[in-house]
Amino acid sequence: MKSIPIGSLVYEFTRHLEPRARIEPGETLAVSSEDALSGQIRTDADRRDKVAMPFGNPLNGPIWVEGAEPGDALAVTIHEIRPAIGQCATRTADPKQLCEWLGTDCPHGTHVCKIENGLIHWGDGITIPYAPMLGCIGTAPDWGVPSTAPAGPHGGNMDLIEVCPGNTVVLPVFVPGGYLYLGDAHAAMGHGELSATGLEMPAESIITVNLRKGLRIPGPRIEAPDEIMAVATGCPMERSTAEAFARLILWMESDFGWDRWRAYDILTHVARISVGYYGIGTVAAKIERRYLGGG
C-alpha cells in the first residue's frame, strides 16, 4: 500500500502541480493530511493566525490516476480515517451571519479535545462519539483554480458527514489523471458546520481509488451501503437543494430504471437531505436503496 505523507500544504484544487503520487485504478493508499487550522492549534492557548496563514483548508495531493480522462469519474472508497495525534481542535471566533441575533462579542472559543476509545472528550463532562469524515475531497477543474473554501462540481469543501468510512465518493474527472486531493478531516461534525469549524484533526485516511470510464456526472455523488445521494452547492440554499434533488432524480432514471416523474413523486415522501457548511449552501439529497428497486 502506498503512503503519501504530508508535504507542502496545498490550498487549491489545481492541475498545475506535479502529482505527489501516481496510482493504478483499484489501488489502496494511505494519505496523511494536516488539520484545517494548518496545525496552528495544538493547545487551548494557541490561536488561529490568518495573517501568517491566510488560506482555507490544507490538502494533500494531487494524486494522478492512470487512465483517467475528462468524462470519466473517480470512485474513492474511504476505509478508515485515523487521528494522527490523538486529539482534535475547534474554535468559535467567527459567528458571521449569526451576529444579527447573537451580537459580535463572541469569545475565541479555542479548545483541544482528546480522542480516546472511540470518544471525543469535548469538555464539561460531555463526550461525543468519534465519527470521522473528510471535509474536503475533489478533483482539479480544467478551467480556473478554486481554493479550498468553496465547493462545486469538482467536489471541494463539501463538509458533508457522509464523506466517511464505509462510503464511496464519486467525482467527475476534468483533466487527464484526475488530480485527486483530500484533507480537512474532522473527528466529528454536526449538520451545517455552524461555526465553520468542525472537530479538526490531522489524520491518515485509507482509501481505494477506482476509475469509472465514461461516467459523465454533473457533480459529486456519494454511495453508501444503504443509500445514495447527489450533491449540489450554491446560495440561496433553496436552489442547491432543488439541484441536488434534480441530479438524484436523473441518476435514478439513468441507472435504476425510474421514470423521472415517478422518482420525483417517491422522493417527495421518503427523501432526506444532509447539509454541509450552511454558509456556502452544500446539500446532499438522499434516498435509501431499499426504494430503488420499485421504479
Say whether pLDDT at 294 is over 70: no
pTM higher than 0.75 for the full model? yes
Condensed to tens digits (0 to 9), the pLDDT of residues 49-101 reads: 878 777 789 999 999 999 999 999 999 999 999 999 999 999 987 888 899 99
pLDDT recorded at residue 40:
93
**Fold match between 2-88+131-212 and 226-294?**
no
In angstroms and rounded to an integer, the radius of gyration of the C-alpha atoms of the chain is 19
pLDDT recorded at residue 95:
87
Q: Locate the DSSP E strands across the chain.
A: 2-4, 21-23, 27-33, 59-65, 73-83, 87-90, 111-116, 119-123, 126-129, 133-138, 151-152, 155-157, 168-172, 180-186, 203-212, 221-223, 227-233, 272-275, 282-288
Letter for the amino acid at 15? R
pLDDT recorded at residue 295:
58
Angle, helices 260-270/237-256, rounded to nearest 10 degrees: 120
Q: How many CA atoms lie within 13 A of 82 on its CB side?
A: 11
CA dist., res. 53 & res. 51, Å (int): 5
Q: What is the mean pLDDT of the chain?
A: 96
Q: Which CATH number fits domain 2-88+131-212: 2.30.30.40, 2.60.120.580, 3.40.640.10, 2.40.10.10?
A: 2.60.120.580
Q: 15 and 142 in contact (C-beta within 8 Å)?
A: yes
Q: Does domain 226-294 correspond to CATH entry 3.10.28?
A: yes
Condensed to tens digits (0 to 9), the pLDDT of residues 118-139 reads: 999 999 999 999 999 999 999 9
CA 240 to chain centre: 16
CA dist., res. 31 & res. 105, Å (int): 39
Domain spans of the chain, in order of start: 2-88+131-212, 226-294
